[in-house]
Amino acid sequence: MRVSEFGLRRIAAKLKVKLFDKGKLQQVEYATWGKVIDGVHLKIKAARQLSAGAKKQAQLTRFSEAGDHLRIFMKDIWRNSVSHTRKPYIRDEALAAFNRVGAFMKFLARDMKEEK
């Protein structure tokens, strides 16, 4: 899960997510997962406001896929319960979390490759 946190922060930086804490600008590195993910989702919402066209569709597709990886698959299902010691992973869950993190990092690698 620590690997995916680097990915989360990379996406936020790439999308130029701005975060605030108590009215002051907060560095992404010091924000919680939830706050960073919310910032990514705000970028998705902003992309929805663009005029219809190829740029809007490309941004929505890319941003939404990143947002889904982060909130649905990583934070809510895998990270919170274990990181906050509410429950341990059983073997199959640990393997599923490992595979999900791998898929997320492949998504990031593909996205960065397409950027060049």
Residue 51 above 80 pLDDT? no
The pLDDT confidence band at residue 116, using thresholds 50, 70 and 90, is low
CA distances from 101 to 87, 88, 90, 97 (A): 19, 17, 16, 6
The interaxial angle of helices 54-68 and 91-115, nearest 10 deg, is: 150
Higher pLDDT, 72 or 11: 11
The pLDDT confidence band at residue 71, using thresholds 50, 70 and 90, is low
- Say how far apart CA 63 and CA 45 lie, in whole Å: 10
pLDDT for res 20 = 92
pTM beyond 0.95, yes or no: no
- Say how far apart CA 116 and CA 102 lie, in whole Å: 22
pLDDT for res 26 = 93
Higher pLDDT, 18 or 50: 18
- pLDDT per residue as tens digits for the range 73-114: 566 555 556 665 666 777 887 788 788 888 888 888 876 666
Select from 34, 76, 43, 79 the least CA-distant residue to 61. 43
Residue 115 above 80 pLDDT? no
Please compute, for residue 33, the number of CA atoms within 13 A of its CA located in the half-sphere on the CB side.
22
